[in-house]
A and B are shown apart, each in its own frame.
Chain A
Amino acid sequence: MLKIENLVVRYGMIEAIKGISFHVDDGEIVTLIGSNGAGKTTTMHAISGLLKPAGGSITLDGKDLIKTPSHKIVTDGLAQVPEGRRVFAEQSVKENLLLGAYFRKDKQEIEKDLAYVYDLFPRLKEREKQLAGTLSGGEQQMLAMGRALMSRPKILLLDEPSMGLSPLLVKEIFRIIQDINKRGTTILLVEQNAKMALGIADRAYVLETGKIVLEGTGEELAASERVRKAYLGG
């Protein structure tokens, strides 16, 4: 479904991503783990068009995403929950969710998806009219995920959904990610919390300073010596 080949991203002279290749198949949960500065968010931004890569290719079901204007990528079925949530603080919860369906014209289906999101995150329903900026970090994460789901994506990219959340909330968010996946959405998950990510992933890649150094199933990587030492605390 999503295929990245020899992707290179530069910030000025610095090569942040040095020719990585990976793919996500239909229905999978794939995770990209790595420490701070490994290039995870850069990779995500390149896929969703917020950054222009210097080389390589990104295709979604065969369609070239690098040539697609960034605001058109979501209409092709790829939605991203950005790092730090980036909800629209001065708009209400409901307005945020409707912005997620901005490009859609099918009013009735949008209503259905709104009901689906409220079903996944009952807290959002309770806070429908509240400004997003007044929500707690966990609620903002839920809102960012709900907002992305409102575009009815084929594939959902999640960038550090556990960041800044309590362990209990992280568990809750990861349970919901699995739930979203079971209902038919493919997931690409970027995480520093390798333990949680490997626990739910079908397949995983390890990113270190702009290169993929390991790949395998979630279980394989969780058992690997190198991953245990570097990311799972021994």
Chain B
Amino acid sequence: MAFLSYLIGGLGLGSVYAIIALGYSMVYGIAKMLNFAHGDVIMVGAFVAYFALSSFGLPTIVALILSVVACTVLGIVVEKLAYKPLRGASSLSVLITAIGVSYFLQNAAMLMWGTDTKIFPTILEGTLTIGELSIPYLTLLTILSCIVIMVVLTMFINKTKTGRAMRACSEDKGAASLMGINVNQIISITFAIGSGLAAIAAVLLCATYPSVYPTLGSMPGIKAFTAAVLGGIGSIPGAFLGGLLLGVIENLARAYISTQLSDAIVFMVLIVILLIKPTGLLGKKVNVKV
């Protein structure tokens, strides 16, 4: 029974990683860049939700919507100001810029909101009890949110015109432009979606681990990046699978091996999988036909 409850807890944690990883993976798939500031967008989303809930006493759903709107706008603005001028620059310059944006956001948050840890209010209490097994409703909500996001996003990417355009941009931006697709606009949309998802992840994460502070996005950001790479970066099902797997491994390692070593074990798994399958679990081998 204990195992099952650790497993479900892991799936809950993994769902948060998966939602964040989707943002990493989509941006990488389309803009071909690693947005290391993605974790800090989560932090901003967490602060916005925190203030909406604690300072203004707004209902949870309103706080969530405000957080999503704020992060979406932040994502678009960061892309326009920091990354767009570097289109065509070497990927190293873009990477360094992303790290710069990350530090900028963290320090801006410290200036504006202080360095002390704030306690995120409880948004969902209670547990579902089946026999000996008890699962917090929050865990169920987190897993459910992740599944809904995954399904909606997959349908959006595969069935809509904008989704087709996004897939076209991820394969070949020049050819996409020849089709009349506004590549800059598609990149903007991608950042908007990724950042909006980060806000949802922020609220779910802080509801489970209720501390809000300026560097709160770093660790989940790195873990989600690991999840994206584990699943095969650029692949949406890969991000989903990688996130869930990472959450489960982390939770089981914490329960059965060592709390201190759980992070080390997570990253070790990543190293081992990349040694065996460098493109990640669902990553594609790049085939070029001449």
Which A residues contact B (CB, under 8 angstroms)?
48-50, 69-72, 74-75, 79-80, 82, 84, 86-91, 95, 98-100, 102-103, 133, 137, 140, 147-148, 151, 164
Contacts and interface: CB of A to CB of B under 8 A. Distances in A.
Contacts of A82: 174-175, 178
Given A99-B164, A164-B290, A90 B180 contact: no
Contact count band on B: 20 to 34
A19 B117 CA distance: 65
Interface in B90-143: none
Interface in B161-201: 161, 164-165, 167-168, 171-172, 174-183
Nearest to B178: A80
B237 to A, nearest CB: 13
Contacts of B161: 102
A82 B172 CA distance: 12
A103 B168 CA distance: 14
B180 A74 contact: yes
B164 A91 contact: yes
Contact of B179 (A50, A69, A84, A100): A100
Interface of B: 161, 164-165, 167-168, 171-172, 174-183, 287, 289-290
B179 A89 contact: no
B174 A71 contact: no
Contact of B177 (A71, A84, A100): A71
Contacts of A90: 167, 171
Contacts of A71: 177, 179-183
Most chain A CB within a 10 A radius of its CB, from B161, B287, B289: B289
Contact of A133 (B168, B180, B289): B289
Contacts of A140: 289
A74 B174 CA distance: 13
Contacts of B175: 82, 86-88
A137 B178 CA distance: 20
Contact of A70 (B168, B177, B289): B177
B66 to A, nearest CB: 34
